[in-house]
Structure 1
Amino acid sequence: MLIYGEDTRWTPAADRYDKMPYRRLGQSGLKLPAISLGLWHNFGDDKPLQSQKEILRRAFDLGVTHFDLANNYGPPNGSAEVNFGRILREDFAGLRQELVISSKAGWDMWPGPYGFGGSRKYLLDSLDQSLERMGLDRVDIFYHHRPDPETPLEETMGALDHIVRSGRAGYVGISSYSADLTARAQQIMRGLGTPLIIHQPSYSMLNRWVETPSSNSMGPAHGKNLVQTLTDHGMGSIVFTPLAQGMLTDKYLDGVPEDSRAAASKSLNPEWLSDQNIEHIRGLNEIAQARGQSLAQMAIAWTLREQDGGQVTSALVGASKVSQIEDSVAAVENLEFSAEELARIDELAVDAGVNIWSAATESTD
């Protein structure tokens, strides 16, 4: 038995697949766990490697088979992939076939005109570096991390097609694309013979843009929202920030703790913690308590609910300690919502101005 906190030899739990639901990703043959672990925070050089090991080990023991990275995760940029690669070699040797590993490129990575965006050069160079950092010959999923209005969509999608055909990735996807741009991108990829299988949008009870219909009824999405568009085009989804950068937890119900993201202004703007938003969060917390869940568990479960037009495949969570991944995974123990609960949640789950990726979702001609 592994005692977390001690650097002992780890043996994966024999019952790791018993409780976690695995959902098919769109029309592909790939399945993802309902809960996936993102390495955006807490896996850079500013965190102890031992704590990173403990989180990844415990996640896998709980059935979390999907680990999500990007070229610029850290700090510094690239360090999360370096640290993950080391842990993969030291702790997960012989388990690669049981893991789904993803990475991305699109945001700023290195200086100069070739270290960001959606050009073929940037995407190929960046993925080659990511593979080297992790010590892999391929990733399972590679994403374009955000739309690039300065690069033709055909070039970006052509690069993703080439990445699969060259063996660098098993599947490809996109992140933060609008419904119309997603439909256009999928049309291109189906023509190339390498369909997109996944979209990674931000989504939470305080950031519901994926439910908003496209304003252009004549556009490629025909006025449908992103969830409906993904279903129409055979794509699955994995949502990031389901906890709204930590707002949908009990951490901020009584003020801003000194060790919190808000106090450090780290991806959570203290201005978001307005009196109105906190009042809504307290109301949501009361609903969660009545369901026998923590607020975080209910927030995750809510993103995974069935919707008009489709369902989210997986919720991407972060963790700075073992107890947080345990709490998040426990959300799968109650994924059902009554009509009354959903109606009460809708009264409180309103936009809180937390979508800092909103500019990236705009369609480009």
Structure 2
Amino acid sequence: MITHEPNAHYIANPTRYKNMAYERCGRSGILLPKLSLGLWQNFGENDSRVNAANMLHTAFDSGLTHFDLANNYGPNYGAAESTFGSIFKHDLTPYRDELIISSKAGYDMWPGPYGMGGSRKYLVSSCDQSLQRTGLDYFDIFYHHCMDADTPLEETMQALDYIVRSGRALYVGISNYQPQQTQQAIKILQDLGTPLLIHQPRYNLFDRWIENGLTEVLKTEGVGSIVFSPLAQGLLTSKYLNGIPKDSRAAQEHQIYLAEKDLTSAKISKVKALNELAQQRGQSLAQMAIAWALNNEAVTTCLIGASRPAQILDSVNALNKLDFSQQELTAINNILKE
């Protein structure tokens, strides 16, 4: 792997599409790579810009054409979009038409009553701010990040429709919506003439909620999905097999996504059993976890995170073995039930 210094001229790998598989997103005209890169973490103000650039280069060089952002990714809020925008301007501008770039709004972003939720005021304003931070003319996909029970769903979907019709985005998505809410959103958007392209839910071996109705809605309605946290914030890796490393995410204070209290002996036992099965398959646990998520036919692409380029390459290698025997799937389910 070639690393790129900030002032070096980046030239994309000419064979970047050779080994990546692409999947149609629902019944749309869009093909997405089996893996997409999320900028949720490690692209903030205190993170290395050189490392961030190298991760984006490595991803694109490997055929990952989809980069996923949100307005409040950081820290601080907006920092990931600004970091991406700086690297995009310097390195990726010539490849804009080869990329799918998305952002989102929904969670808390700025003070006052108009800085979060699902109102037209918030979504359009946030989209404009995100475009300014990234330096883009438009997003390929713009999402409502989370359901807002205090705003009529019609208003939220009308805002997404307007964002497309005004040229701010090409497609719309939703994230973290429950099955019934998703069904309602699909119907409203269909009536408006801006069909729902994609849904972004959490999905991994320990969190399978989408199997309770959402996947059926997506398959029936022809909507794609991009699943996040396939490694359960690092739990589904070899990192915690022998305790909690001091530099790990779970060891950090004020950690809200994976805390030490979540790493029970029972859960670690399951992780160890899953790791043994992965080794029998000739994969790392992380690679098997990604392959398992992609094995769900309702899943279009798996959203991976990374703290260094090598982790991206390791995830790409998961695509070398995506098939599971029925015996392996049964073994996985038995481990998770224990």
Smaller-chain TM-score bracket: over 0.9
- Rounded to whole Å, the distance in 1 between the matches of 2:311 and 2:74 is 19
Which residue of structure 2 aligns with residue 25 of structure 1? 25
Residue of structure 2 in register with 1:182 after alignment: 182
Q: Which runs of structure 2 are paired with 1:312-323 in the superposition (5 Å)?
A: 312-323=299-310
- How many Å apart are 1:10 and its aligned residue? 2.4
TM-score by length of 2: 0.97
Q: Deviations 1:294-338 (Å, cap 9, x if unpaired)?
A: 1000000100004xxx42000001000011111111111111000
Counterpart-to-counterpart distance in 2, 1:73 and 1:261: 17
Q: Is 2:247 the partner of 1:248?
A: no
Q: How does 1:61-80 map to 2 (within 5 A)?
A: 61-80=61-80
Query: Which amino acid in 2 is paired with 1:324?
Result: Q
Identity %: 56
In the other structure, the counterpart of 1:362 is none
Amino acid at match of 1:236: G
Partner residue of 2:334 out of 336, 347, 356: 347
2:157 corresponding residue in structure 1: 157
**Correspondences of 1:187-266 after superposition (within 5 Å):** 187-212=187-212, 225-265=213-253, 266=255
Aligned 8 A contact 1:206 1:350 in 2: no
Say yes or no: does 1:300 pair with 2:299. no
| d(CA) in 2 for partners of 1:288, 1:272 | 22
* Cα distance between partner residues in 2 of 1:350 and 1:91: 47
Could you list the structure 1 runs, at least 4 aligned residues long, displaced by more than 4 angstroms after superposition: none
In 1, distance between residues paired with 2:117 and 2:215?
25
Q: Once the 2 structures are TM-superposed, how far is the Cα of residue 6 of structure 1 from its aligned partner? A: 4.5
The amino acid of 1:291's aligned partner reads R
Deviation at 1:46, TM superposition (A): 1.3
* Distance (Å, rounded) in 2 between the aligned partners of 1:319 and 1:5: 17
Give CA-to-partner distance per residue, 1:217-239, whole Å, 9 cap, x none: xxxxxxxx111110111100000
Residue of structure 2 equivalent to 1:220:
none
Cα shift at 1:349 = 3.2
Structure 1: stretches of 5+ with no match in the other structure: 213-224, 352-365
Query: Shift of residue 126 of structure 1?
Result: 0.2
Question: Residue type of the partner of 1:322?
Answer: P
2:58 is aligned to 58
Q: 2:320 aligns with which of 328, 333, 339?
A: 333
Match of 1:219 in 2: none
Distance apart, 1:350 and its partner CA = 5.2
State how far apart, in whole Å, the 1-side matches of 2:205 and 2:4 are: 33
Write the distance in 2 (CA, Å) between the matches of 1:93 and 1:162: 26
Is the 1:205–1:350 contact (alpha carbons within 8 Å) kept by the matching residues of 2? no
In structure 1, what is the equivalent of residue 274 of structure 2? 284
What are structure 2's unaligned runs of at least 5 residues? none
Count of aligned pairs:
335
3-state secondary structure, aligned to 1:197: strand
Q: 2:116 touches 2:122 (CA, 8 Å); kept in 1? A: yes
